A and B are shown apart, each in its own frame.
Chain A
Amino acid sequence: MKAATDPVPPTAAAPAPILEAIRVSRRFGGLVAVDEVSLSIAAGEVVGLIGPNGAGKSTLFDVLAGERQPSAGQVLLRGRRVEREPAEARLAGGLGRTFQIPRPFGALSVLENVMLGAAHHPGERLWPNLFAPTRVAAAERAARARALEILAFLGLEALAKEPARVLSGGQRKLLELARVLMAEPAVVLLDEPAAGVHPTLMQTIVERLATLARGGLAVLLIEHHLGLIAELCARAVVMAEGRVLCVGTPAAVLADARVAEAYVGRPAA
C-alpha cells in the first residue's frame, strides 16, 4: 500500500496543510449548524474532532467531503479551492471519507466493495469493456491485487469472497476504511470509526490508523471514544453549537472547563 510503504519524511517546519477549512459556515434555514469554523490538517497528522451531539461535526464533514456546499467560507484541498465541487470530484483530488453508520454495498462481495474504490479504472467506463477488453482485464487484475493487499492489511482477507452484508459492525467500519484507502487518498475523514466496535477490533483500527499516519496519510476523525483520541491524535478540535470551542492536545482540551461544560452543562449555582 502506498500509504504504508512510501512514508513522507517528517519536517521540522510546519508542513503545508493538505485540507483546510477557512471560516466555513453551513445554515439550514434559521439554524446555523456550522458557524465560521476554521481548521487545517497536514500530511501524517491525526486530528480528532470532538464535541457533544449536535455540535455540527458531521455537517462539517459533509461540507469538507462535498456532500453539502457551505453557506459561506472556503475549503482548500492541497491548496486548491474545492467547496463547489461534488463529492466524487473531491475523491479524485485526494480526499476520502467514511460514514458514521457504515454503508457497505451488501449484495457485493467484500473484495468488490474494496475494488470500487479504485480511481481511474478503465473498466468503469462503458466503451473500453467492449473495445479494449485486454486493457480492462489488466486493470482489473491490478485492482484485485491491491484490494487483497488492503484487506490483508486490515485483517479482512478471509472474508474477501463473502457478501458484505454478513460483516459485523466493526468489520463494516474496516471495510469502509479499506474502500477509501483503495483510492490512495492523501487525507481521510473518518466518522466515528470506533463506534459500536468490539474492543479487539478497535485496537486493530487504532494500530492500522497509526501505521497509515506514519506513512503520510492525514486523518481527521470524529470520535466519542476519548481514549482513542488520546492514543491516536496529536491535536484535538472541540466543537460546540457549530463553533470551534478550543484546539490543543487531547490532554489539554479534556482538561478545559469549557469542554466539560459543553458536554455535561454548567454546574448548578
Chain B
Amino acid sequence: MSGAWTGWLAYAASFGVMVLIQGVACLGLNLQWGQTGLFNVGVAGFVAVGAYTSALLTSAAVDGRLGGYELPLVIGVVAAMAAGGLVSAAVGALTLRLRSDYLAIATFGIAVVVDLVARNAAGLTGGTLGISFIPRPFEALAERPLTFALATFALVAAVTLLAYLLLERLVASPWGRVLRAIREDERAAASLGKSAASYRLQAFTVGGALMGLAGALQAHTLGFISPENFAAAVTFQVWAMLVVGGTGNNRGVLLGALLVSALWSATGLATAAAFPPEEQARAAALRIVAIGVLLSATILWRPRGLLGERTAVSRHLDD
C-alpha cells in the first residue's frame, strides 16, 4: 500500500475514533434529553469528569500531582463511568426537580465548575497543562501508525457497539416507555403510578456514566487531556449531533455524530486551505458557524432529525 493511502487510512481511522467517542457522549445525552426530556447543557463537564478520573488512575506518578496509580485501563474506564454516574446522581438529586430551563442553567454551572477545577486545581488535574502520557491501549503498536490507528478504532468501535446495544435494550423496554411518558407529561405519568423523580434520576445517572465513558475513551486514545478538550463547544457539538441525527433515536445519534464530525473536519481542511496561517485562529470560528447552519437547516426542514423516533417503544411488541 502506498504511503499516501496508508496516511489517509490512518486519518480515516482516527476520524472514526473521534466520531465514535462523540457518539458515546451523544448516546448518553439522548437518554437524558431524547428519552426523558432532561435539558443537560453541561455535557463537556461530565465527559471531563470521566477523562480525568481514568487518566489519574491509570497514568504514572508525577511530582506534585495526585493520582499516578498505574492501574489497568479497564479499571480506569469502569471508574470513569462510575465517576460520571456518581457526579450525575449527585447533581441530579439536587437539580432534577427544576424546570427544564433552570436545569439547563444548573448543568451549565456544573460544567463551568468542572472547567474551573480542571484549570486551577493543578495538584489534581495538571492545571492548564493537563495530563500527559496517559496510557493508550495499543502503545506497543505506535511505531506503525496505520496498525495503531486501526486497532484503536476497532476497540473504540467495539465499546461503542456495546454501549449502543445496552442502550437499545434499555430504551426499547418498559423502562424506556416510562421515560418517554414522563418526558411527554409528568403529571399524567404520576397519575399512572410512575415516580418522575426516581426515573429522571436513573436516566440522568446512566447518561452521565456514558459521558464519563466517552471521556475515558478520549483520554486513552489521545494520550493527553487538558481543559481545552472539554470546552463549551464540545457540549454544542454533541447537542448538534443529537438534533441533526434524530432526538430519541440511537441510530440517529450515531449518524448525527458522523455528519457533524465530518462537517467539522471538512471545514477544518477548507479553512486551512483558504486562509493564511495568521488568519487561521479567526477562521476557525467559521467551523462553528457551519455547524450552526446545519443545525438551523435541520430544525427548519427535518425538525425530528434525519431519523425520527419510533412510535412503538418496547421491543417486545414488534410481532
Contacts and interface: CB of A to CB of B under 8 A. Distances in A.
Contact of A103 (B174, B187, B195, B316): B187
B317 to A, nearest CB: 6
Nearest to B203: A126
B229 interface: no
A65 B188 CA distance: 12
B177 interface: yes
Given A116-B177, A137-B316, 19 more contacts: A65-B191, A88-B193, A88-B195, A97-B191, A99-B188, A105-B181, A105-B188, A107-B180, A107-B309, A107-B311, A109-B317, A112-B312, A116-B178, A116-B192, A129-B173, A136-B174, A141-B316, A144-B316, A161-B311
Nearest to B171: A129
B317 A130 contact: no
B174 A115 contact: yes
Nearest to A103: B188
A137 B318 CA distance: 12
B169 interface: yes
Contacts of A118: 174
B317 A144 contact: yes
Contacts of B189: 105, 116
A226 interface: no
Nearest to A160: B317
Contacts of B193: 87-89, 91-92, 117, 119, 183
Interface in A115-157: 115-119, 121, 123-126, 129-130, 133, 136-137, 139-141, 143-144
Interface in B179-199: 180-181, 184-185, 187-195
A246 interface: no
Given A103-B185, A141-B316, A123 B311 contact: no
A130 B313 contact: no
A86 interface: yes
A106 B174 contact: no
Contacts of A116: 177-178, 181, 189, 192, 194
Contacts of B150: none
B191 A108 contact: no
B163 interface: no
A222 B189 CA distance: 21
A136 B173 contact: yes
A163 interface: yes
A161 B191 CA distance: 23
Number of chain A interface residues as a range: 35 or more
A56 interface: no
Interface residues of B, number: 30
A87 to B, nearest CB: 5
Contacts of B177: 108, 112, 115-116, 124
Given A105-B180, A112-B312, A124 B174 contact: yes
B175 interface: yes
A171 B317 CA distance: 22
29 contacts: A67-B190, A87-B191, A88-B192, A91-B192, A105-B181, A105-B185, A107-B180, A107-B309, A107-B311, A108-B180, A108-B313, A109-B311, A112-B313, A112-B317, A115-B174, A115-B314, A116-B194, A124-B175, A124-B177, A124-B194, A126-B170, A126-B202, A129-B174, A130-B166, A130-B170, A144-B317, A161-B311, A161-B312, A163-B311
A141 B319 CA distance: 11
Central interface residue in B180, B312, B316, by most chain A CB within 10 Å: B316
A129 B188 contact: no
B116 to A, nearest CB: 33
Secondary structure dominating the interface of B: helix
Given A124-B174, A126-B175, A96 B191 contact: yes
A110 to B, nearest CB: 10
B288 to A, nearest CB: 31
A103 B188 CA distance: 6
B6 to A, nearest CB: 41
Contact of A140 (B180, B195, B314): B314
Most central of B166, B190, B309 by chain A CB within 10 Å: B190
A87 B317 CA distance: 28
A111 interface: yes
B227 to A, nearest CB: 33
Nearest to B170: A129
Contacts of B166: 130
A73 B151 CA distance: 69
Contacts of A140: 174, 314, 316-317
Given A112-B312, A112-B317, A163-B311, A67 B187 contact: yes
User: Which of A104, A111, A112, A143 gathers the greatest number of chain B CB atoms within 10 Å?
Assistant: A112
A131 to B, nearest CB: 11
Nearest to B190: A87
A179 interface: yes
Contacts of A87: 190-191, 193
